[in-house]
Each structure stands twice: as structure tokens, then as C-alpha cells.
Structure 1
Amino acid sequence: MDNRQEMKEWYDGYLFGKTEIYNSWSALNYVKKLLNDDHFQAVSFWANTSSNDLVKTYIEYATMTMKEEFEKLINDQSIIKKIVPELTYREMDFHSIQTMNDNVYSFLLFTGYLKIKSKVDNDHPYTYELVIPNKEVKYIYEDIFMKWFESYQRKRDSSFIEALIQEDVMKANRLLQDVLQQSISYYDNYENLYHGFMVGFLKANGYTVQSNKKSGYGRFDIALIIECKHLSSIKELRKDSAKASEQIIRQKYIEGLIEEGYEHIIGYGISFYKNNAL
């Protein structure tokens, strides 16, 4: 990629009136790196600065509606928001984040984490279509969210695994559903995504995971045993979880593990659709 185009995609995106502005700190750092390394690829120089702490707080304490709006932004979509031009820092106390609503987006706009794409004509004079300005800022959103989500998930790992061992299907499903609902689904919805998600869920609590190991006449997804299915419609969630369980029986996954010396084996079929599981 041409260096000028790469720099534009990563560090441009701001407007002062009609004047196009780059993030000067990041642009200068990018040029400095290129002078020492012709093959240097753009990174987020802004990612580890202290100003990201407030964005992190907003994601941690966000309502479900706000999480859905963050999902749109990370998916390169826009959101329509009323902006508060006279906003003060004191009004951004995160303890009142449940009632902040547009204040959050006003702050993110004023600090460069969002930009105005267009003005929206309605009864409110300060209503705008907002987007993430560039790849550097998008990386910040993704990185902060993933760190929060991994922390959120770890707090529920042991309870989920204990529910599986105790064969408490209802509790395990509630815990898994809770974690999925808290996620932002900007990832591609492929079966191997959920496979990796379940592997991480188990590994995070110190359990040994044998993923896609050959057993019986086929390959199981995770040795505890869990067979994951990804659906294109939520209507088939229950039916396909039953199919996943039947596959464990049909492919003789359990018999294969018994032959290897395992004595206590529990099999589960789990189907996924976006942020839903059963």
C-alpha cells in the first residue's frame, strides 16, 4: 500500500470547518518510523495513552443500547446523536453513565474518538450522524472492548464449568447466554469463531483443552465433550443443539475417549446464533 494512503486511512478523518486535519501526533510518529524502516506498517500510537481510560469506563458501564451502538460504530456504521455543545468535564462522571446518553457521544466527539459525518435536519439544532474517524481510533475501541470482555468472561468461567460438570444445563446456558449478550458481535459469525470462544472459556480457568482431537469415527470440538454448531437463523437453535448432541453419539466420540482410558465423560451439543446459544 502507498504510504500516503496508509497514513490517511489510519490518522486522517478530522475536519476543522472545511479543513481536513490529521492526528498530528500519530502522523509524525508514523513518518519518524518510516524514516528508520521502509517496511514499517501503521499502528495505533494513540492506543496506550491515558486519555483512553474514560473510553474504557464507558464501555465497562455501558447500557445494552450503548453496546449495540458501539457495535454499529465498530462495524463502520454511523449513529445519529444529539450533541451537547456546552458539555463540561464535570458532567462526565462515570457514576451517572446510565443517564448520560448523548453526553457520552458528545465527549467522544470533542476528544477525537468520533467525527461528524453529516448534520441531521430535525427539531434539535445539534443532531449529527457520527462515525469512527479512522483505523487508529477503531483499533482503540476494539482493543478496549476485548480486554473488558475477557475480564467479564473470566469472572464467569468457573461457574460455567462447574455447571457443566454438575450437568446443570439450565445454569450453564444462562451463564453462556449472559457472556454472549455482553459481547459486541462485530466478528464474522462462523462456526470456528464459537469453537474458539468455547476453547477460551475453558482454558481461561486452567483446564486442559484438547480441541478437534480425533476420537471414535470423527472429530469432537472440545474434550469435555462439546460439539458447536453455528446457525443462520435463530428459529433452528433448539433443533440444531439436539443435532449436535446426536452427532456426539453417532460419531462415537465418547466411546473413543473411553478406549483412551477416560472414565467420566459428559457430552453437550451447543448451537449458536449471533449472541444467542442453546
Structure 2
Amino acid sequence: MLESPRLGDEEKAMLRSYSSQMFMRELSNLDLAESFLGNMIAMLAKHYEKQVVLLVDEYDVPLARAAERGYFSEMRDLLKAFLGPLKPETGPIVNGRPVLKKAVFTGCLRVSKESIFTGVNNFAANTVCTENDPALSAAMGFTPDEVNEMLRYYDLESVRDVVKHWYDGYRFGRQDIYSPWDLISFCSKASKTSDPAARVPENYWTATSGNVVIDEFLGFLSDADADRMQLLVDGGVIEVEINEQLTYAGMAFHKLEDFWTILLFTGYLTVAERLGPKRFLLKIPNEEIRQTFKERVLARYSAENRSFARHGSRLVQSAFSGDVDGMAEVLAPLLRTYVSVRDAQSRAPAENYYHGFLSALLASAGDQIQNFKSNIEAGDGYADIVFDSGAGSEKTGVVLEIKRAGRDENMTSVLNSALAQIEEKRYGEIFDHMGCAKYYAYGLVFRGKNCLVGGGALRMLGS
């Protein structure tokens, strides 16, 4: 288009700027980046004198990367401006029509319309769970008829059953879908040999899938979840509730339904049957994904869970011995591993994420504690976490008060307020009702991946 007679000098200068990585990396040119899509659509329409069709794959990836690295709000604001041309406002016209004819976005995690698509009308969303347009479902991969035609074209009909076993099995609405990239890769390689023995299916999916978000969940799962994963690997189905409104901020709570939702949305699982508005039977779609699931999810879970349980055991032992330094030593590496910047910057109530994190950690050491209670009425308020262990004169309780320090707050001051709250609200009274002879009280203050633990003095209860 730099040679186009229909584009002016200013438009060509803009194109040259867009082609310069150094120029586009300068924050001072952010306004030009925000207007990139609108400008390109207008120039394409002007050059070709036709309406433009916009196709955007993996549209959610910039938000996912930004959430992982701590600039989610900035990326969201950039995309809002970037996608401005989708709004039904008066704009450039080509041959009497708007320059943009239609736009199609594809991705793994559905981003809410209110997040980056504000003001966009006629917005139809198709997902693996919800079908608004059957034609869109059929476009998500290869249908069985298209696969048969492809195999005939490449003279590969003899391996139809193998191809189905390895690459079929996805469901979009009511449409059966083969994984397109994997099938193309297989046909490309198999068609170059006449030796049937060399036409062996391979796993092409592993190299194209990311695991960062899934890895964050693995340490929070239970043995029952491991049994469900093994059932899937063995060819079974599991019944789950899916959260179609899952957001990046919501992932910070590591809810079980969100884990299965992510596995479904990222292609590790597919719908076997819809049971209700939110309830589904899920399964692993094919042999390729079964191998990947075993290697990248189930195996990683086993190692991750054992490590997580060991840390949970050490935390409990330290808590029952008044060892605040030991508790801090347990938490420090775990926070670096399991707390993403996304979690730390969640819009949810400040302490909620860390509360859930500690609950999961303590649950992993469940055989060492008794009577675990969360947000329980105690004294004149509600204690964040209490639990006990032992019997008779050795029965000991632990109360944890959790705080999150703001960016400008002194963590030591916040810790002191947590310990003072335990005293002022008389949380220790709950241990009388639990039959404890003594208890330890701790304040835990978090900021991002940092933690401060205080307290630890042994309190004796009445005889």
C-alpha cells in the first residue's frame, strides 16, 4: 500500500511508522498504537475500494499475558481503544457503506463484552457450551464430511479410523469437530510417503498449548480431583459445573469449577453431554489429548500436590509450636510459586485470595489438624481461620488473622493491627467451646508475593 495511488502522503507515513518496531515500542506513541486498527481498516478499504472483513485469532492472549505480568488494566484500556472501529459510529465510508463489513474473534477464554467490547452491537458469541449460530460452530475446525474429503484428496482413506481416534472428538454446540492444525499436520506428513507403516499419527498439540494458568491451579486440588483426572484418562466422563463467566480476576480464587472450565476452554476436555444450564458431562476428546493430559496435567499434578502437602505439613507443625519464623519460611517460596501478579492485583476483597490460599495449604495437611473452620463466629467477631489438634490437656488451637497491606502501608503496622484485632474481638474464646487447653494466635500480612508473620505466644485457657 506504500505505492497506492489512493493513499495520501500522511497515510503512507503512518504505514511506515507502524512497520517500525522501535517506533511502536515508544510509550509516547501509544495513541498511534490505539488507533492502529481503525487506521489500517480505513486504508485497506480506501486502497481496495471494498469493505474489510476483520479476522482476529487468540484475541484473549494479550489480556492473559498482561494478567500474568501485572499490567492487565493498562492492556484492557489499550484494547478498548484499539477495538474502537467495531462500534457502530459514523466513520469512513467506502462505496456508500461502512468500511468494516464484519469481524470474527476467536480465543480460549471468553472476555466479557463489558471489558473490551463496550459499545459493540450485534455481538454474537459462540462457545463450547453455548451455540448462537450453528454455522459458527462448524467453522471452528473440520467437520467429519470435510475430513473425509481431505483424506480422499490425499489418498489417506485407509487411515480414517486412526485419524478419528487421534484427532476427532471435539463438540461445538451440536457439531462434531476435528482439531484442524493437527489434522493438517498429519496429512501433510503422511501424504509424502507411500509406506502405510510410516503413516503414524503424532502429537502435534503439545507444542501449541500453554500451561501457565493450569499449573497455578494444580497445588490447590484434592485427592478426589486426582481420581477424577484418572477417570478421564481411563476414558470415563465426569460431571462438573462450568463457569462461562470466568474472568482473569476470578481465577485468583482457584475455585474447582474454574479449573475444569479452563481445561474445557483450552481444549483438554470437551462436552460429552449437557445436563443443565451450567452442568455438563466432560471427557477427553481423543488419543492425542489423552497423551498430553497424562504428560502435562496429571503427572504435573502428582508432583505438585506432593510438594504442596509437604509445605502444608511444615506450616501446621510450625503453627503448633509458636514458630513464626518457620511459618514465614514455608510461605515465602510458596507465594513466589503460586501467587501470580494477577492474584495480587485482583479486584476481589483484599484478603480473599490469601485466605483461600492458606485454606488450601492447610487442607493439604488435613490429617494433622482437626475442626478446621473458616470465617467462624468467635468472641465479638469472626475469625479468619481456626483449627485445633490433640486431645485432653494437650488439645491445642490456632487462630489466624489475615490482612493484605496496600502498596503504601507499612506491613509491620498492619501486622500489629491484626494481632490487636484478635485480642479486641476476643477470638480466643472459641477454643473454650472447642475443648482446647491452650492456643496460639498469629497475624499474617501479605503484599503481592511477600508475607510477614507475627504473634506465636502460647495462651493457656481455664482449667
TM-score, normalised on structure 2?
A: 0.33
Quote how far apart the aligned CAs of 1:182 are.
0.9
Could you say which residue in structure 2 is the equivalent of 1:183? Answer: 338
> Deviation digits for residues 129-179 of structure 1, max 9, x if unmatched?
xxxxxx526999xx9599475554222111111111111111210111110
Quote how far apart the aligned CAs of 1:4 are.
6.5
Describe the shift of the 1:274–1:234 C-alpha distance in structure 2 as closer, same or farther (beyond 3 A).
farther
The question of 1:6 aligning with 2:169 is answered: no
Could you say which residue in structure 2 is the equivalent of 1:173? Answer: 328
Letter in 2 for 1:251: K
Show structure 1 runs of 5+ residues with no match.
Answer: 11-20, 37-45, 61-73, 77-134
The question of 1:211 aligning with 2:374 is answered: yes
Quote how far apart the aligned CAs of 1:218 are.
0.8
**Residues of 2 paired with 1:144 and 1:233: CA distance?**
35
Could you say which residue in structure 1 is the equivalent of 2:354? Answer: 194
Describe the shift of the 1:149–1:254 C-alpha distance in structure 2 as closer, same or farther (beyond 3 A).
same
Quote how far apart the aligned CAs of 1:214 are.
1.0
Letter in 1 for 2:317: E
Could you say which residue in structure 1 is the equivalent of 2:65? Answer: none
- Higher strand residue share: 2
Quote how far apart the aligned CAs of 1:236 are.
2.1
Quote how far apart the aligned CAs of 1:50 are.
9.6
> What stretches of structure 1 move > 3 A for 4+ residues in a row?
1-4, 21-28, 49-57, 137-140, 143-152
The question of 1:157 aligning with 2:312 is answered: yes
Asked which structure has the greater RCO (Cα within 8 Å, sep 6+), the reply is 1
> Deviation digits for residues 64-92 of structure 1, max 9, x if unmatched?
xxxxxxxxxx969xxxxxxxxxxxxxxxx
Letter in 2 for 1:179: L
Could you say which residue in structure 1 is the equivalent of 2:37? Answer: none
Describe the shift of the 1:254–1:242 C-alpha distance in structure 2 as closer, same or farther (beyond 3 A).
same
Give the share of equivalent positions with the same residue, in percent: 19
Report how many aligned residue pairs link the two structures: 183
TM-score, normalised on structure 1?
A: 0.52
Larger Rg: 1 or 2? 2
Letter in 2 for 1:136: T
The question of 1:247 aligning with 2:410 is answered: no
Letter in 2 for 1:230: R
Could you say which residue in structure 2 is the equivalent of 1:96? Answer: none
> Deviation digits for residues 225-256 of structure 1, max 9, x if unmatched?
00011222275222212211111111001133
**Residues of 2 paired with 1:192 and 1:201: CA distance?**
14
Letter in 2 for 1:201: L
| Among candidates 436, 439, 442, match of residue 265 of structure 1 | 439
For the Cα contact (< 8 Å) 2:339–2:448, is it kept in 1?
Answer: no
Describe the shift of the 1:251–1:178 C-alpha distance in structure 2 as closer, same or farther (beyond 3 A).
same
Show structure 2 runs of 5+ residues with no match.
Answer: 1-109, 111-121, 131-138, 144-166, 177-181, 183-202, 216-246, 250-264, 270-288, 290-295, 387-397, 453-463
Secondary structure of 1:242 counterpart: helix
The question of 1:34 aligning with 2:174 is answered: yes
**Residues of 2 paired with 1:193 and 1:29: CA distance?**
34
Describe the shift of the 1:56–1:35 C-alpha distance in structure 2 as closer, same or farther (beyond 3 A).
closer
